[in-house]
Amino acid sequence: MAPVIIDVEASGFGLGSYPIEIGVVLSDRTTHCYLIKPEQGWVHWDAKAESLHGISRELLMEKGQPIREVAECLNRILLGQTVYSDAWSYDASWIGKLYDEAELLQGFKVESLRRILSDQQLNVWEPTRARVVEELALQRHRASSDAMLIQAVFERTSASAPKP
Protein backbone atom coordinates (compact mmCIF):
# COMPACT_ATOMS: atom_id res chain seq x y z
CA MET A 1 0.00 0.00 0.00
CA ALA A 2 1.28 3.45 -0.89
CA PRO A 3 2.05 5.83 1.97
CA VAL A 4 0.04 9.00 2.47
CA ILE A 5 2.20 11.91 1.27
CA ILE A 6 1.91 15.56 2.28
CA ASP A 7 3.67 18.53 0.73
CA VAL A 8 3.65 22.18 1.72
CA GLU A 9 4.42 25.28 -0.33
CA ALA A 10 5.33 28.31 1.74
CA SER A 11 5.75 32.05 1.60
CA GLY A 12 9.50 31.62 1.84
CA PHE A 13 12.10 29.86 3.91
CA GLY A 14 13.25 30.53 7.44
CA LEU A 15 11.85 32.79 10.12
CA GLY A 16 8.52 34.40 9.40
CA SER A 17 7.54 32.00 6.61
CA TYR A 18 4.18 30.28 6.69
CA PRO A 19 2.22 27.67 4.71
CA ILE A 20 0.36 28.89 1.63
CA GLU A 21 -0.63 25.59 0.02
CA ILE A 22 -0.91 22.04 1.32
CA GLY A 23 -1.25 19.03 -0.94
CA VAL A 24 -2.03 15.49 0.18
CA VAL A 25 -2.21 12.26 -1.77
CA LEU A 26 -3.90 9.38 0.05
CA SER A 27 -3.01 5.70 -0.25
CA ASP A 28 -5.74 5.24 -2.87
CA ARG A 29 -4.20 8.12 -4.92
CA THR A 30 -7.01 10.55 -4.04
CA THR A 31 -5.56 14.06 -3.94
CA HIS A 32 -6.50 17.07 -1.86
CA CYS A 33 -5.07 20.53 -2.27
CA TYR A 34 -5.70 23.65 -0.21
CA LEU A 35 -4.65 27.22 -0.90
CA ILE A 36 -4.35 29.05 2.41
CA LYS A 37 -5.40 32.64 2.96
CA PRO A 38 -2.64 34.28 5.04
CA GLU A 39 -3.52 35.48 8.51
CA GLN A 40 -3.25 39.20 9.17
CA GLY A 41 0.16 38.86 10.87
CA TRP A 42 1.56 36.59 8.17
CA VAL A 43 3.38 39.16 6.06
CA HIS A 44 6.72 37.53 5.14
CA TRP A 45 6.93 37.07 1.36
CA ASP A 46 9.91 35.77 -0.61
CA ALA A 47 9.89 36.47 -4.35
CA LYS A 48 12.28 33.53 -4.91
CA ALA A 49 9.79 31.13 -3.33
CA GLU A 50 6.99 32.61 -5.46
CA SER A 51 9.08 32.07 -8.60
CA LEU A 52 9.32 28.36 -7.68
CA HIS A 53 5.68 27.63 -6.85
CA GLY A 54 4.03 30.36 -8.91
CA ILE A 55 1.51 31.27 -6.22
CA SER A 56 1.04 34.99 -5.71
CA ARG A 57 -0.10 36.59 -2.49
CA GLU A 58 -2.97 38.12 -4.49
CA LEU A 59 -4.14 34.63 -5.53
CA LEU A 60 -4.09 33.53 -1.90
CA MET A 61 -6.12 36.53 -0.79
CA GLU A 62 -8.67 35.88 -3.54
CA LYS A 63 -8.90 32.06 -3.57
CA GLY A 64 -7.29 30.91 -0.32
CA GLN A 65 -9.30 29.20 2.38
CA PRO A 66 -9.23 30.33 6.02
CA ILE A 67 -6.61 28.49 8.07
CA ARG A 68 -9.12 26.96 10.47
CA GLU A 69 -11.08 25.51 7.54
CA VAL A 70 -7.91 23.98 6.06
CA ALA A 71 -6.86 22.55 9.44
CA GLU A 72 -10.31 21.01 9.95
CA CYS A 73 -10.28 19.49 6.44
CA LEU A 74 -6.83 17.98 7.02
CA ASN A 75 -7.95 16.52 10.35
CA ARG A 76 -11.02 15.04 8.69
CA ILE A 77 -9.12 13.25 5.91
CA LEU A 78 -5.97 12.34 7.90
CA LEU A 79 -7.29 11.66 11.42
CA GLY A 80 -5.11 9.17 13.28
CA GLN A 81 -2.79 8.55 10.34
CA THR A 82 0.92 9.00 9.85
CA VAL A 83 1.70 11.02 6.72
CA TYR A 84 5.10 11.36 5.10
CA SER A 85 7.02 14.34 3.79
CA ASP A 86 10.24 14.52 1.80
CA ALA A 87 11.02 17.86 3.50
CA TRP A 88 9.93 16.91 7.00
CA SER A 89 11.69 19.65 8.98
CA TYR A 90 10.09 22.40 6.89
CA ASP A 91 6.70 20.82 6.29
CA ALA A 92 6.15 19.72 9.90
CA SER A 93 6.94 23.22 11.19
CA TRP A 94 4.63 24.89 8.64
CA ILE A 95 1.81 22.45 9.45
CA GLY A 96 2.42 23.11 13.14
CA LYS A 97 2.19 26.83 12.48
CA LEU A 98 -1.14 26.31 10.70
CA TYR A 99 -2.59 24.38 13.65
CA ASP A 100 -1.21 26.81 16.23
CA GLU A 101 -2.77 29.76 14.43
CA ALA A 102 -6.06 27.86 13.96
CA GLU A 103 -6.02 26.96 17.67
CA LEU A 104 -6.72 23.31 16.86
CA LEU A 105 -4.99 20.07 17.74
CA GLN A 106 -3.38 18.36 14.79
CA GLY A 107 -5.09 14.97 14.40
CA PHE A 108 -2.33 13.23 12.44
CA LYS A 109 1.42 12.72 12.61
CA VAL A 110 3.95 13.98 10.04
CA GLU A 111 7.07 11.85 9.60
CA SER A 112 10.09 12.02 7.35
CA LEU A 113 9.79 9.94 4.20
CA ARG A 114 13.32 8.68 4.90
CA ARG A 115 11.91 6.64 7.81
CA ILE A 116 10.23 4.27 5.37
CA LEU A 117 12.78 4.26 2.53
CA SER A 118 15.14 1.32 2.27
CA ASP A 119 18.78 1.77 1.29
CA GLN A 120 17.89 0.23 -2.07
CA GLN A 121 15.15 2.80 -2.62
CA LEU A 122 17.50 5.64 -1.68
CA ASN A 123 20.08 4.37 -4.17
CA VAL A 124 17.65 4.57 -7.10
CA TRP A 125 15.50 7.49 -5.92
CA GLU A 126 16.91 10.31 -8.05
CA PRO A 127 17.10 8.47 -11.41
CA THR A 128 13.63 7.04 -10.79
CA ARG A 129 12.33 10.50 -9.90
CA ALA A 130 13.70 11.91 -13.16
CA ARG A 131 11.91 9.17 -15.16
CA VAL A 132 8.62 9.68 -13.30
CA VAL A 133 8.78 13.47 -13.81
CA GLU A 134 9.17 12.88 -17.53
CA GLU A 135 6.39 10.26 -17.68
CA LEU A 136 3.87 12.24 -15.64
CA ALA A 137 4.76 15.51 -17.42
CA LEU A 138 3.83 17.53 -14.33
CA GLN A 139 4.18 21.19 -15.25
CA ARG A 140 3.56 22.84 -11.89
CA HIS A 141 5.73 22.86 -8.80
CA ARG A 142 2.71 22.81 -6.56
CA ALA A 143 1.89 20.91 -3.39
CA SER A 144 -0.49 18.29 -4.79
CA SER A 145 1.67 17.66 -7.88
CA ASP A 146 4.75 17.27 -5.69
CA ALA A 147 2.91 14.88 -3.35
CA MET A 148 1.75 12.76 -6.33
CA LEU A 149 5.28 12.68 -7.69
CA ILE A 150 6.76 11.59 -4.36
CA GLN A 151 4.18 8.83 -3.97
CA ALA A 152 4.74 7.59 -7.54
CA VAL A 153 8.52 7.48 -7.03
CA PHE A 154 8.04 5.64 -3.73
CA GLU A 155 5.86 3.04 -5.41
CA ARG A 156 8.21 2.66 -8.39
CA THR A 157 11.29 2.26 -6.19
CA SER A 158 9.41 -0.21 -3.95
CA ALA A 159 8.37 -2.31 -6.94
CA SER A 160 11.91 -2.43 -8.31
CA ALA A 161 13.54 -3.35 -4.99
CA PRO A 162 14.71 -6.98 -4.88
CA LYS A 163 12.60 -9.16 -2.61
CA PRO A 164 14.38 -11.14 0.17
- 52 pLDDT band (50/70/90 cuts)? confident
Please provide the average confidence, as pLDDT, over all residues in the chain.
93
Contacts of 11 (CB under 8 A, 6+ apart): 17, 18, 19, 20, 38, 42, 44, 45, 46, 49, 57
What integer pLDDT is reported at residue 1 of this predicted model? Answer: 85
Q: Where are the alpha helices (DSSP H) in the chain?
A: 47-53, 57-63, 67-78, 88-102, 119-136, 143-160
Does 37 score more than 90 pLDDT? yes
User: Mean per-residue pLDDT for 121-127?
Assistant: 95
Taking alpha carbons only, the member of 67, 5, 58, 64 closest to residue 31 is 5
What integer pLDDT is reported at residue 139 of this predicted model? Answer: 64
User: Mean per-residue pLDDT for 63-72?
Assistant: 98
Does 163 score more than 50 pLDDT? no
Q: Which domains does the chain have, with CATH numbers?
A: 5-160 (3.30.420.10)
pLDDT tens sequence across 75-98: 999 999 999 999 999 999 999 999
Taking alpha carbons only, the member of 19, 18, 27, 12 closest to residue 116 is 27
As a whole number of angstroms, the distance between CA 121 and CA 45 comes to: 35
What integer pLDDT is reported at residue 136 of this predicted model? Answer: 83
